[in-house]
Structure 1
Amino acid sequence: MSSGNPIGVFDSGIGGLTVFRSIMEQLPGYDYIYLGDNGRAPYGNRSFSTIHQYTWECVQWMFEQGCPLVILACNTASAKALRTIQQQDLPVQNANKRVLGVIRPTAEVIGNYTQSNKIGVLGTTGTVQSDSYPIEIAHFFPELKVYQQACPLWVPLIESGEYNKPGADYYVQLYLDELMSQSPDIDTILLACTHYPLLIEKIKAHLPRHIKVVAQGDIVAASLVDYLQRHPEIEQRLSNTGSRSFYTTMDDTANFDAHASLFFKSALTSTYVDVRKTCK
């Protein structure tokens, strides 16, 4: 379906387009394909084994399109599937391929945003239950205290296009109140789901002005720039004709295109794929 050796960007739905946009801005010359597993979204409340299965199927499909490198622009997949893919799947089946996530790049820099050393993390139930962020952040900033809050209704609101309507404010306020009740000294809040930047203005409106709200797009993109500089053996395998292709496991591609264009901030046209047909 694609030509060359593009960088693959994967998400359970359309949220990863916020990261993809930032990656393209910082690395505009490469070829890219984006795959959203909208047909099986949301991932947030699914088990580790199911998320691994779905993510690995999508990653394998992207490998078959020629991708030497795949970015999991999905916090839930990064939290629940990345380690197994990197440590068990790739060495056996695709030792010359690379799969990266969004958690470690964020953990490496998040401590630079806080003065109180108290950080809030908003994510899906799966991301929060995995404790991936407290564990990773402790490696780089052991002095930080991390408070987490699951926001299980935010992704469905966003995927259904209801996020910009007045009714969404109730659920934004609900989860922010639950987070801030854990500590009034939180001064930095990480949006640990790539869907959440579409709610960022509502989130900021319900918080004191001194609290920083951090999205991941630019952080992950900067980390990828650094990764390719440090790994020329991967960078040299990537094609660079500037092509962009979008795929979804949702058979209603018009619906995907309409919502996805809001995330990508540009009109796009997608193609439907069934990743299960190409994976064993």
Structure 2
Amino acid sequence: MQEYQPIGVFDSGYGGLTILKSIVSKLPQYDYVYLGDNARTPYGTRSFDTVYQYTLECVRHLFDMGCRLVILACNTASAKALRNIQQLDLPHMAPDRRVLGVIRPTTEIIGEYSRSRHIGILATRGTVTSESYLVEIEKFFPDIAVYQEACPMWVPLVENGEHTSPGADYFVRQHIDRLLSQSPAIDTVLLACTHYPLLLPKIKAFMPEQITVLSQGDIVANSLADYLNRHPGMEAQCSRQSKLTFYTTDSTEEFGRQASLFWGTPVEASKLTL
């Protein structure tokens, strides 16, 4: 029997569950371990060095759980930590293991959606400040103009259960208007935070209907399927019992309550002490 070697999925909190949900829908045969660092969230307002250290610590825990492959299902961690982990840590810490993010899969294909070549990014302040999307999109689509808008209130709205309330309308409309004011030619907008899909009904209500709004879940799931197809050696090491395990660094009760918003059904998690 194959050793238990799940695919690890890491997020600073709950939002990565939207990515995991899409991955499991696309690739249900594999085992997955989800780790939410809820005790230290949010990452979006923290420094590059702090996010890097926190993310690396959680990646090591996922490796200790048997993961050979870890997905950083967090835009902030992907922006502020992934490159250092890949280039500085993995070569000596775990050269046979891999850590992937959510930014590159998105930027590789985002140009396929835009005719005007003007794209908007809605994200946390940390992701916007990192300019990771500007750098990565430039690599694949140098003809595209990218405009960014930080939405610091959107994650708290979701995590406090206010994302469907009338009170959320002001903050959703405010940031959409600010983004679109940067260029009337924007025809594609990326939700570059895994919390934002929960605000999608309101986002679409205030977004002009001719603008395409993209969430990352299906994009990342398709990219992972392609990665495993292109790396059969890694794919062969991923165990297949369709087992899902959830961990949080904070209250398991609170995780279960909040996670159900993102997962759609109740979630039971175990506590991981860092």
SS at match of 1:236: helix
Separation in 2 of the partners of 1:67 and 1:115? 40
Kindly indicate whether the alpha-carbon contact (under 8 Å) linking 1:13 and 1:159 is maintained by their aligned counterparts in 2. no
The corresponding residue for 2:215 is 215
Kindly indicate whether the alpha-carbon contact (under 8 Å) linking 1:74 and 1:102 is maintained by their aligned counterparts in 2. yes
Q: Does 1:267 align with 2:266?
A: yes
Kindly indicate whether the alpha-carbon contact (under 8 Å) linking 1:71 and 1:101 is maintained by their aligned counterparts in 2. yes
The corresponding residue for 2:91 is 91
Separation in 2 of the partners of 1:121 and 1:170? 19
The corresponding residue for 1:34 is 34
SS at match of 1:109: helix
Separation in 1 of the partners of 2:44 and 2:50? 11
SS at match of 2:237: coil
Kindly indicate whether the alpha-carbon contact (under 8 Å) linking 1:42 and 1:156 is maintained by their aligned counterparts in 2. no
The corresponding residue for 1:18 is 18
Q: Report the residue type matching 1:218 in the other structure.
A: D
How far is the alpha carbon of 1:173 from its aligned partner? Answer: 1.0
Q: Does 1:160 align with 2:140?
A: no
Q: Does 1:198 align with 2:159?
A: no
Separation in 2 of the partners of 1:98 and 1:161? 35
The alignment's TM-score, normalised by the length of structure 2, stands at 0.97
The corresponding residue for 2:178 is 178
How many aligned positions are there? 272
How far is the alpha carbon of 1:124 from its aligned partner? Answer: 0.7
The corresponding residue for 2:72 is 72
Kindly indicate whether the alpha-carbon contact (under 8 Å) linking 1:128 and 1:150 is maintained by their aligned counterparts in 2. yes
Identity of aligned residues (%): 60
How far is the alpha carbon of 1:162 from its aligned partner? Answer: 1.8
Q: Report the residue type matching 1:264 in the other structure.
A: W
Q: Unpaired segments of 5 or more residues in structure 2?
A: none
Separation in 1 of the partners of 2:159 and 2:85? 26
Separation in 2 of the partners of 1:72 and 1:222? 15
Separation in 1 of the partners of 2:164 and 2:74? 21
SS at match of 2:39: helix
Q: Cα RMSD over matched residues?
A: 0.9
How far is the alpha carbon of 1:160 from its aligned partner? Answer: 2.0
SS at match of 1:163: coil
SS at match of 2:163: coil
**Superposition misfits of 4+ residues, deviation over 6 angstroms:** none
Separation in 2 of the partners of 1:164 and 1:70? 32
Q: Unpaired segments of 5 or more residues in structure 1?
A: none
Separation in 1 of the partners of 2:250 and 2:206? 33
SS at match of 1:190: strand
